[in-house]
Amino acid sequence: MSPKRGDEVAPPVVGDEWEIKYAKSDAVQGWKELSNTARGNARKEWEIMRSRPGRQPTARHHQLKGTLSAGTGWSTPAPGTRR
Mean pLDDT, the chain, integer: 77
Give the C-alpha separation, 12 to 34, whole Å: 22
For the chain, the domains span 25-77
Torsion of CA 42, 73, 56, 28, to 10 degrees: 20
Percent of the chain, pLDDT > 70?
A: 70
Cα 7 from chain centroid?
17
- Cβ atoms of 23 and 53 within 8 Å: the answer is no
Predicted local distance difference test score (pLDDT) of residue 48: 84
pTM for this structure? 0.61
